[in-house]
Structure 1
């Protein structure tokens, strides 16, 4: 309860002589009842005066209600006190004669130096630093071993290890001084010396009698243990060894000032904090790939290469879904796969590199067709640096059964072809050309922005001069209105021009880079021609994706802006939010439409046998390369 003149203030008991139907007056925040209105006003005016002190925090000059709110917030902080530290801290508080500030400093230093079972810290594991919890302290003579449990993001133990003290790292104090102050005031019944509440003393097995060396220096007063100021000062001098120093210097010698944390920091060092915003739950990744999980990276890189360099390859675009279905198809040679191989082989032949030097030795037609394309493929796989990788697959390809190869092998071969194609002069020239055009557009963008700023500054100065020359206020209003209309008219074409430049720069972007990484170093990829946001694990062994706008919103809401990686990822997602969300919604509509078409095919009469190509799920069989070189 709040203190009045630093002393407890008892509340009034309800009147005993009240009638059942009698009108009474009640104070809202104390629930006190008055039969006399004047007495009610007198007590209410007292509560409204700034003469009250918060019992827990010691804040003064408060109204009674403000002091109640302060106590309530302080009690909420006490609830956050680490449970594993309650017992050790109470043992240090019991019968201490230090003042509050010195006692807080003493406990805070002790918490920094010592470790306790249940404490959460960080520890070295191989080449990284990971969060852990001390499960058990094993002491053998002068040395101690610590059994720790490694914690995941949900603070659950995923494994255990036995470490030395040197392997443990405390990134930040386990608790703050303010929390210690609140805890000490809340858990004690008196000070000078400090005595822990009886219920807590019994619960944690604290001694209920003062130490023998203190008994002769203590007196009992009104049922409380008291010590004189001289005794208290002597005990402090013996305990701290700094009685001759001023209080300010004694505190500085005990502990260095804490440096406040500047965010953002390393993501893995972040834990739940009271000032954190409300994070949304990160949505579950979809992993319904048809290709093996270890081949998803190859699938995306090959498709992105074909989509980005379609003009150089003379290859018509195709969707990622069609490419995935085609690469998994095992019945015969799929036109889409044949055209991809043929386009890359033609590029390699024109470059006249290592592949060209090996191919002319074969007696065959130089034109690549659906019949002889596997011969060109065998030439490529028989090159010195790849012969050992695909030795077991060569007989299957030579017999014309390319479709029977494992999906992983098919994608590995295509990935090798893409790596070879990236070294050709045609691709390098295309990249250099795109980079030069992008640089020129960025320069033009900066010049436009500078020109726009100069025009705005000149227009502003002219309007100010015009205002000074105007006599009446109505004329000033008209001048301002005209300036606003003129600036808005100029702003529209300028913004449109800036957007056009941005679109042109985007079109010239060929190389795809990840948007960023999250706390666990997972990389996030967005491809312009695919309406999904892909997520790659830190070891590149797991992949997943998000395909709806709702999942994108939930992902952004789950990122912690206090971490260096997640704040960068969040900024990128917010920067390209409109583009990504539009692509996701477009793909969702296309998928729903495809499902409806597939259902329509299934409902067709059995008297009309539907061809496999009529099914939308088999659209990859209808692919035709309309961009062949004439």
Structure 2
């Protein structure tokens, strides 16, 4: 806006015009209206005076119109030049700032943003080879600093950016702060200064905050409610209160001093001259006194503060003044001091996640990956899409895979990866079977009905009844009986209250309403015709599952389950494909139709029988056994913890004892033996020396004493003996202390080994407890928008699957962090809130919860519990941990759990990446396979074909799909799957059971669970 004397020009308000026919004069640039021509001319003269300043460019000495045109041109230039991605962050940084000088404000903002980049911004990426590529920031993630236990910073805070390269449209670069820069001309201090001056204003009083212009704040949804402590009225009130408080403190000090003087009880004797009568003094002839005959001095000029009414103001002859006599205490009215309102209490974190101020720096949750085409909008992430997979099927596949792996011991199934399971569910070939797909169905079906030699083939689940022909005949008989009964009299028609001839005719001749016909469900399949002679229960009891047998059992089971209203629709949909009306109701039809059924119906069918499996008594017994096992493991863990505690206490005592027995360092260390010998030899040589004369060149030999050398040798020998005796005594003393010291050191080492062993045992028991925790799958946590995060390997299964599985070389089970959207109740309570709550939330944060969810989650949103996404790289996991805010209740728990499990999650993510990497041709030699009976499909094309059910071969001697082995004759052996048994036996221990990497049995409890 145009400035006049450094203040914005104030425009005149529109006048009240009563007569609509009167003439008015308008200044279009300022939108001012005048009813008087003189006022109009006066205003125009003021606007044409060259006393205005352009706020954007800072040019002064302009007319109002020139300054306005300069501002518009400068604003247009700034809007075109300043980066669009930086506008909102800069404005939010400047809003309510109290830095008075704009130069200092520009300096602070520039330092904050020169190394910070935002999505949508054009940048330059510096590669490792120092080459530079232009790109646009697509995504940004901030990582907070990590501090150690001692408070030191182990990792500085940093950011990572996904940059789409302009010259390489199909490539992206993941860079950090050190490998990304801006163009120097894009973000400069001069440009930033112009942008700030163009978009913010500031009032003239001292301490006024910078405020974004209302129209710009509305466009970027920036809060314009000035905080109370920054408002001018509050500032003025605070200054007045401070002055009043200072004055009251001064008056209080004066009042306290006066009250102190009034309360001083001084008992002074009367002046000494009062005891003597007055005497007349003769004038000694000097000059007359200036104030008469020895009269008292004039009263002193007392300060009014010290004057007391009724006190005689005179000075005694000795020249000393006395304090005034005490006055009766006066009751002063109490003063009421206005106390400023207390500051709001500090927020005690953690609080609800959605009550935390939104982060508006451009960061959002890492981009999710999807497996359905409906959710994936980015073509670059389409490599994870499963063809034909529906949105609702993802949860069914995860639930079914988790159930089969958790209860793999009950089902006698080898563990398998989720990727192999999905590939097996989508595998379709009428000539080749996928063993993983077949064995999963057969293992579950065999748990629903016992074999005919096991408890008479009892059914382990409750099934609805099928309609019988006899019941239909009984229904017909009941209908005939009802027809033979006398007819029920027809009720008389109701006549209206006001009867007329026409109304009576309408009632009498009205046709009766037709009775609604009962809805007869249309059957669009021929499932019932497949079991005329041989029922599915009998087939399952006899374990006749080969060559389409288990597919026919599935048809019969689903046909009978269609009587349950909850699954009627989906059962009929599956049966319409397995037993269509245009195909013969034979076992071959069921086999062919099942091989061509899509993955969605397959997942529905397998999930239905898995739900039935969870209702069996076998699962209940298994869960009880797991509960008892967990109790046993907890007791073992307590014992290890107690042993560790005792060892630590003993170690503390030994450390004190070690410090007491530690040898003290010698204060005056003895010289080295070599130095002692040199000193002795020097002394001996001094006994017999030649002293050269200062005058004569020839030395004069001094005659030594008799036997002087012998005496010197004797003294040397005695000194050596004394030194040896002292060293020996010292060594004995030191050896005695050293033995005890060494003994303590050995005990300390033993206690440390005990502590390490106890900690290792605790870790092992914790792993056993985790694997035995089967009742339910535990979620990692929820984020601020109630999205659930799952790591299915967290409990109830080994992290990498069973170590003796046929695909144990994969080294992982699922290898992904799965994200599930919020359910309906959570969405209604946290996101889709009522209108009053939505408005209150908008006034607080300038956005609704739904808008915040869309902003902070980025382009990949999950709107319901049926929608799933995942992360499968370490970078995405770290970015997720950095995005979570530990000030929120939900994200605090989730972040803590992710940090605890981070290493294990990343380890199995990396193993999954290695397992799914395309294998080279030379990696595995090709083997010759017999293909006379079935078409051979290479396991290099389909990894799921590598899976073999070795658990069933080891425990049953055959696969689930194979019939029960016949009793062997004398002298003959069952040669079926002998090769697989030999291969399996090579992995067993000497005790006859499989062992894991620690040498323990592979089961969670140490033994197989047999039923």
TM-score (norm 1): 0.57
Q: Which residue of 1 aligns with 2:944?
A: 620
Contact 1:597 1:616 in 2 (8 A): no
Q: CA deviation at 1:70?
A: 12
Q: Determine which of 422, 436, 439 is the counterpart of 1:336.
A: 436
Deviation at 1:570, TM superposition (A): 1.0
1: CA distance, partners of 2:417 / 2:919:
17
Tell me which residue corresponds to 2:448: 348
Matches of 1:622 and 1:595, distance apart in 2: 14
Cα deviation code 1:552-597 (max 9, x no counterpart) = 22222221111211121111111112211111111111122x3545
Q: How far has the Cα of 1:347 moved from its partner?
A: 0.3
1:394-543, aligned counterparts within 5 Å?
394-398=575-579, 399-400=589-590, 401-464=593-656, 467-468=659-660, 472=664, 485-510=749-774, 511-528=776-793, 529-538=813-822, 539-543=864-868
Look up the match of 1:374.
551
The separation in 1 between residues aligned to 2:780 and 2:437, in whole angstroms, is 29
Answer whether contact 2:393 2:600 (CA < 8 A) is retained.
yes
**Is structure 2 residue 691 aligned with structure 1 residue 583?**
no
C-alpha deviation, 1:346, in angstroms: 0.7
Shift of 1:537: 1.7
Query: CA separation of 1:437/1:73 partners in 2, compared to 1, >3 Å: closer, same or farther?
Result: same
CA displacement 1:229-288 (0-9 Å, x = unmatched)? 99xx9xxxxxxxxxx997963423xxx5312111112222222579x9x97962443542
1:569 to 2:894 alignment: yes
Secondary structure of the 2:366 match is coil
Cα distance in 1 between the residues matched to 2:556 and 2:345: 65
Query: For the residues of structure 1 that align with 2:887 and 2:334, how far apart are their CA atoms?
Result: 41
Name the structure with the higher helix share: 1
Q: Does 1:257 align with 2:362?
A: no
CA separation of 1:495 and 1:279: change in aligned 2, threshold 3 A: farther
Cα shift at 1:531: 1.4
Higher gyration radius (CA) = 2
User: CA, structure 1 residues 248+322, in 2 after alignment: closer, same or farther (shift >3 Å)?
Assistant: farther
Aligned match for 1:285, one of 353, 363, 369: 369
Answering whether residue 869 of structure 2 is matched by residue 544 of structure 1, we say: yes
Pair 272,248 (structure 1): closer, same or farther in 2 beyond 3 Å: farther
Which residue is 1:24 aligned to? none
Is the contact made by 1:336 and 1:623 (CA closer than 8 Å) also made in structure 2? yes
Mapped partners of 1:595, 1:396: distance in 2: 37
Bigger strand share: 1
Residues of 1 paired with 2:200 and 2:651: CA distance?
A: 67
List runs of 5+ in structure 1 lacking aligned partners: 1-55, 59-67, 105-110, 120-132, 136-154, 158-169, 195-228, 234-243, 603-610
TM-fit CA distance, 1:549: 1.9
Aligned partner of 2:963 in structure 1 is: none
User: Is 490-499 or 348-357 further displaced after alignment?
Assistant: 348-357
Please, which runs of 5 or more residues in structure 2 have no aligned partner? 1-97, 113-191, 248-332, 372-383, 451-458, 467-530, 580-588, 667-736, 794-812, 823-863, 927-934, 958-1011
Deviation at 1:337, TM superposition (A): 2.4
Could you say what secondary structure the match of 1:450 adopts? Answer: helix
**Aligned residue in 2 for 1:393:** 574
Quick one: distance in 1 between partners of 2:596 and 2:778?
A: 33
* Equivalent residues of 1:612, 1:618 under 8 A apart: no
Q: Deviations over 1:443-471 (max 9, x none)?
A: 32233223312321233234435645778
1:434 CA drift (Å): 1.2
Query: Is the contact between residue 574 and residue 605 of structure 2 (CA under 8 Å) also seen in structure 1?
Result: no
Question: Structure 1 residues 442, 280: closer, same or farther in 2, change over 3 A?
Answer: farther
CA distance in 2, matches of 1:273, 1:309: 44
Q: In the aligned structure 1, how far is the partner of 2:354 from the partner of 2:922?
A: 46
Q: CA deviation at 1:74?
A: 11
1:20-71, Cα deviation, whole Å (9 max, x unpaired): xxxxxxxxxxxxxxxxxxxxxxxxxxxxxxxxxxxx799xxxxxxxxx9999
Residues 658 and 741 in structure 2, CA contact (< 8 A), matched pair in contact too: no
Residue 306 in structure 1 maps to residue 404 in structure 2:
yes
Match of 1:556 in 2: 881
Contact (CA 8 Å) 2:819, 2:868: kept in 1 or not? yes
CA separation in 2, counterparts of 1:346 and 1:352? 10
Distance, in Å, in 2 between the alignment partners of 1:245 and 1:412 is 83
1:433 CA displacement = 1.1
- Taking a change above 3 Å as real, the CA distance of residues 273 and 338 of structure 1, as seen in their structure-2 partners, is closer
CA distance in 2, matches of 1:432, 1:547: 35
Q: Following superposition of structure 1 onto structure 2, how do residues 83-482 of structure 1 map, counting pairs within 5 Å?
A: 90=203, 180=230, 249-252=338-341, 256-272=342-358, 282-287=366-371, 288-290=384-386, 291-332=389-430, 334-350=434-450, 352-355=460-463, 364-365=538-539, 366=541, 367-370=543-546, 371-381=548-558, 382-383=560-561, 384-385=563-564, 386-398=567-579, 399-400=589-590, 401-464=593-656, 467-468=659-660, 472=664
Question: Are the aligned partners of 1:524 and 1:533 in contact in 2 as well (CA < 8 Å)?
Answer: yes
1:556 touches 1:570 (CA, 8 Å); kept in 2? yes
Q: Helix, strand or coil: the match of 1:535?
A: strand
Quick check: 1:57–1:74 contact (8 Å CA) kept in 2?
no
The match for 1:23 is none
Q: Greater CA deviation, 541-550 or 613-622?
A: 613-622
Q: Contact 2:461/2:615 (CA < 8 Å) preserved in 1?
A: no
CA contact (8 A) 1:463 1:483 kept: no
Conserved? CA contact 1:267–1:564, under 8 Å: yes
Q: TM-score, normalised by structure 2?
A: 0.37
Change (3 A) 1:617 1:533: farther
* 1:280–1:557 contact (8 Å) kept in structure 2: no
How many residues are matched? Answer: 433
Counterpart contact for 2:650–2:751, Cα < 8 Å = no
Q: Is the 8 A contact 1:396 1:405 kept in 2?
A: yes
Cα separation, partners in 2 of 1:566 and 1:542, compared to 1, 3 Å: same
Deviation at 1:348, TM superposition (A): 0.7
Deviation of 1:323 after TM superposition, in Å, equals 1.7
1:505-545, CA deviations, whole angstroms, 9 ceiling, x for partnerless residues? 23323332221112222211112221122111222232222
Question: Post-superposition shift, 1:303?
Answer: 0.9
Question: 2:631 & 2:403 partners in 1: Cα distance?
Answer: 22
CA RMSD of aligned residues (A): 5.0
